[in-house]
Amino acid sequence: MTSGAALPLYPRLAWYGFRRHAAYWAAALAGAFTNTVFGVLRAYVLIALWQARPGLGGYAVADAVTFCFLTQACIGPMQLFGVGLDLPQRIRSGDVALDLVRPAPLQLWCLSEDLGRAAFLFLARSIPPALAGAALFGIVAPRAPAAFLASVTLGVVVSFGWRYLVALASCWVMDDRGLATLSLVLTTFFSGLMLPLTIFPGWFGSLARALPWAAMVQAPSDVYLGTAEPAHALAFQALWAVVLLALGALLTRAARRKVVIQGG
């Protein structure tokens, strides 16, 4: 009997998600190495930019470098590149019909597994780039560690909420690759992965910081750096988590009424 067998259903599913991804340590370490290398390259670019424009976006040079490695650390847990869910494949094969008749809600089932996945990738792919950044550049320490961990958790939930909508939309489209590509572009640009959203000017910057993608990277980074009030950042993330999960529940109900089996 495994150590997770005695757990209630949803913690057991989270444990399953953790163990499932923990089976691929080599891939996770390779991803951590790649994130670290690109983090170093990005750090030098941001150092040059902030030396040319001191105080840009309200960040000092050390804050900008720290932001760089925080964003690299978020790539794995937040699943910023790709949907990271099995739903599109199960929809195409028709297996989603079985998922929808389980006694446990499909959305909570997937969320539990995704939290386990994120927990493993936080350990395997987030900590190494952060340690490398600290060793090479001396990144700043978190202003509120407990609030930061809570913010990361909410960021994962927001990320799941968005990715679940994209994945479940495969019930109504013949090919989900277009949606996945659009999601990748929106997430990469509006999450703060490329550049801090605080440097975007005027109404466009205000809009970018109000969108759900900002809750995935920008909000946890601001909590870490102390550039945002933790209570406000957490409330912003919690709001988007509730909104996206509610939309996901509605879309699941619609999918239950009309399951399109593609190729099955």
Q: Which residues contact 135 (CB under 8 A, 6 or more apart)?
A: none
173-231: pLDDT as tens digits: 877 788 888 999 999 999 999 889 999 989 999 999 999 999 999 999 999 999 999 99
| Domains of the chain: total | 1
Q: Is the pLDDT of residue 262 over 60?
A: no
On whether residue 233 sits in a domain, the answer given is yes
On whether residue 128 sits in a domain, the answer given is yes
Which tokens hold the place of 205? 């910057």
27-77: pLDDT as tens digits: 888 989 999 999 999 999 999 999 999 988 889 999 999 999 999 999 999
**pLDDT score of 49:** 92
Q: Is the pLDDT of residue 85 over 90?
A: no
Phi, psi (degrees; rounded to nearest 5) at 258: -140, 90
Q: Is the pLDDT of residue 150 over 60?
A: yes
Give the Cβ contact number of residue 97 at 10 Å.
15
On whether residue 4 sits in a domain, the answer given is no
Nearest partner of 263 among 201, 134, 174, 136, judged by Cα: 174
On whether residue 247 sits in a domain, the answer given is yes
**pLDDT score of 260:** 46
Nearest partner of 102 among 256, 260, 258, judged by Cα: 256
88-145: pLDDT as tens digits: 888 777 778 777 777 788 899 999 999 999 999 999 999 999 999 999 998 888 989 9
On whether residue 3 sits in a domain, the answer given is no
Query: Which domain range does residue 253 map to?
Result: 9-257
4: confidence class by pLDDT, cuts 50, 70, 90? low
Q: Is the pLDDT of residue 249 over 90?
A: yes
Residue type, 25: W
**pLDDT score of 240:** 97
Q: Is the pLDDT of residue 264 over 50?
A: no
On whether residue 99 sits in a domain, the answer given is yes
C-alpha dihedral, 112 to 150 to 23 to 131, nearest 10°: 170
**pLDDT score of 200:** 92
5: confidence class by pLDDT, cuts 50, 70, 90? low
**pLDDT score of 175:** 73
* Mean predicted lDDT score pLDDT of the chain: 88
On whether residue 262 sits in a domain, the answer given is no
Which tokens hold the place of 95? 């297996």
**pLDDT score of 26:** 87
**pLDDT score of 1:** 40
On whether residue 70 sits in a domain, the answer given is yes
